[in-house]
Amino acid sequence: MATLTEEMTTTDEKSGLSTYLPRIIIGLVLIVGGYFGYQAFRHSQQYETTDNAQIEGNSAPVLARVAGYVKSVNVDDYALVKKGQSLVTIDPEEYDVALAQSEADYQQSLADLATARADLQNAQATARNVSQNARVAQSNAAVQAIRRNKAQQDLQRDQNLYKEQSLTKKQLEDTQNNVDIQAGQYNANVEQINLAKTSESVAQAGIAKAQANIHKIQAVLKVKQAAIDNAKLRVGYARLEAPITGKIGRKNVVAGQYVQPGQNLFTIVADSTFWVVANFKETQLEKMQLGQPVDIKLDAYPDLDIKGRVASLSDATGARFALLPADNASGNFVKITQRVPVKIEILNPGKYKNQLRAGLSVDAEVRVAN
């Protein structure tokens, strides 16, 4: 009898437990769900989150600036390089020859300039001599004019004496001959003055010609100096150096390859400067401000806790930077939620130097409220 009573009690307990257990489980699920729902709601009120984000970094392409065959490649794929380090050498022989030719042409023009300056000095010396000769001729003409005038006075006097029969005809004729001689000598001196003036004009023209030749050669020298500078640049361009410190990507060049100007040989990514560009929906920007803290999670390193802060917000949506921005003036308008790029500064980037890579996918959470 006692055993039967115990069995009935056990059965009632099991029946009661089976009745309330589902309700208990549902209640626990609702409590847990409500808790996590509340936490998710609080999180959504305090954070703006996006997974449309990635790591960005400074990069510099290494481009060929002259054409030629690659003589040597001094780096390997994904190697660390320092700014100014020699990377690639294009065979510079052609450009060395061009530089030597330009320098030889410049030296020849220097010799021509020296000759032109010597011609100018000769022309100036000739002008000085001609000027001196002109002064001598003028002095001689002045002296001869005095002699001519005296001879004419003597003739006038002798003519009066001859009329008074105080002078012989022979003496009068000698006086007349002297007048003619002195007049002829004076005319010759005048011709020398005119010749000297003409010679002065010729000498001045020679000076002007020599000066013009000097100016012409000096202009040619500037052109040839520019040719030398250009040739030196091309010789320098044949030796490619790293523009920044960082790591190179995959090489697109090997020794013996012919490259063209502008050809991308490889790209160097700076390994010291990284930031995050996160694309937030326009509806997420209301409370977002500069300086707000950001939690960053890398898909590649989910356990890595990276901190950042909002550095800047773009003044245009991402669609505005597209190659063909949408034009809503056509009338076929469909409203699409736009995304705005937000730059996030990484705090202490050197701490994550070995993990950060440009292009890695990121989840970003901006704390917009306390």
CA nearest 243: which of 126, 82, 125? 82
What span, in angstroms and rounded, lies between the C-alpha atoms of 170 and 174?
A: 6
Instruction: Compute the average pLDDT of residues 188-212.
Output: 81
C-alpha pair distances (Å), 152 with each of 64, 111, 137, 146, 175: 94, 60, 22, 10, 8
pLDDT of residue 285: 87
Percent of the chain with pLDDT over 70: 86
Beta strand extents in 74-133 (DSSP E only): 80-81, 86-90
Q: Which helix (H) or strand (E) holds 170?
A: helix 169-237
pLDDT of residue 227: 93
Residue with tokens 């481009």: 63
pLDDT of residue 91: 93
* pLDDT class of 234 with cuts at 50, 70, 90: very high
Close Cβ partners of 284 (under 8 Å, ≥ 6 residues apart): 48, 50
* pLDDT class of 3 with cuts at 50, 70, 90: low
CA nearest 271: which of 241, 240, 305, 248? 248
| Annotation: CATH topology of 51-90+248-367 | Elongation Factor Tu (Ef-tu); domain 3 (2.40.30)
What span, in angstroms and rounded, lies between the C-alpha atoms of 358 and 57?
A: 5
Between these two residues, 22 and 68, which has the higher pLDDT value?
Answer: 68
Q: Phi first, then psi: what are they for 34, rounded to 5°?
A: -65, -40
Read off the pLDDT of residues 132-178 as tens digits, 9 standing for 90 and up: 777 777 777 777 778 778 878 877 776 777 777 777 778 777 778 87
CA angle centred on 135, ends 133 and 136, rounded to 5°: 65
Close Cβ partners of 104 (under 8 Å, ≥ 6 residues apart): none
Assess whether the region 51-90+248-367 and the region 93-233 belong to the same CATH fold.
no
- Other CB atoms within 10 Å distance of the CB of residue 246: 23
| CB 347, CB 337: distance < 8 Å | no
Task: Please state whether the predicted TM-score (pTM) of the whole model is above 0.85.
Answer: no
CA nearest 85: which of 76, 94, 93? 76
| CB 234, CB 318: distance < 8 Å | no
Which alpha helices (H) appear in 246-338, and where do they start and end? none
Task: Tokens for 37, please give them.
Answer: 């729902």
The chain-wide mean pLDDT, for the chain, equals 83
Task: Tokens for 70, please give them.
Answer: 């690659």
C-alpha pair distances (Å), 220 with each of 100, 104, 107, 132, 214: 17, 13, 11, 36, 10
- Other CB atoms within 10 Å distance of the CB of residue 170: 8
| Annotation: CATH topology of 93-233 | Helix Hairpins (1.10.287)
Query: Counting Cβ atoms within 10 Å, is residue 36 exposed (0-12), middle (13-18) or buried (19+)?
Result: exposed
Tell whether the model's pLDDT for residue 6 goes beyond 60: no
Instruction: Compute the average pLDDT of residues 320-346.
Output: 74
| HEC secondary structure over 31-47 | HHHHHHHHHHHHHHHHE
Task: Name residue 201's amino acid.
Answer: S
So where are the chain's domains?
51-90+248-367, 93-233
